[in-house]
Amino acid sequence: GEDVEQSLFLSVREGDSSVINCTYTDSSSTYLYWYKQEPGAGLQLLTYIFSNMDMKQDQRLTVLLNKKDKHLSLRIADTQTGDSAIYFCAENPSYQKVTFGTGTKLQVIP
């Protein structure tokens, strides 16, 4: 099946780093994504990584991709209260669609 798995919940203190993990299933996925959902809103693309890359950094965000283990992670440095949201990992097993994970709710404690 096309299950993208994430833990449901993560709690961190403000200023610490957050690491959200994801396991995907389809090794042919060309792109892997992280989306952010704030309360009462739809999902917004946070970042994405092409499958031939191991790492992508964008300001406070670092994405790591381990294709051998089909593992994707998102690290948020210096986590702020505004980072509190649900984070979805996603893969594109075909050009037709994107498969989303269950989402990880990040709680940032002041």
Partner 1 sequence: DADVTQTPRNRITKTGKRIMLECSQTKGHDRMYWYRQDPGLGLRLIYYSFDVKDINKGEISDGYSVSRQAQAKFSLSLESAIPNQTALYFCATSDSTGRNIQYFGAGTRLSVL
Contacting residues toward partner 1, per CB under 8 A: 4, 8, 30-31, 33, 35, 40-45, 48, 88, 92, 95-103
Q: If you ran DSSP here, which 8-state letter would residue 96 be given?
A: T
CB of 49 to partner 1, least distance (A): 11
| Residue 13 φ/ψ region, left for φ over 0, alpha for ψ in the -120 to 50 degree band, beta for the rest | beta
For partner 1, which is the closer residue by CB, 14 or 26? 26
CB of 16 to partner 1, least distance (A): 25
φ, ψ dihedrals at 59, nearest 5°: 55, -115
CA-to-CA distance for 98 and 96, rounded, in angstroms? 7
The structure tokens 């294709």 sit at 67
For partner 1, which is the closer residue by CB, 50 or 80? 50
As beta bridge partners, residue 108 has 12
For partner 1, which is the closer residue by CB, 44 or 80? 44
CB of 71 to partner 1, least distance (A): 18
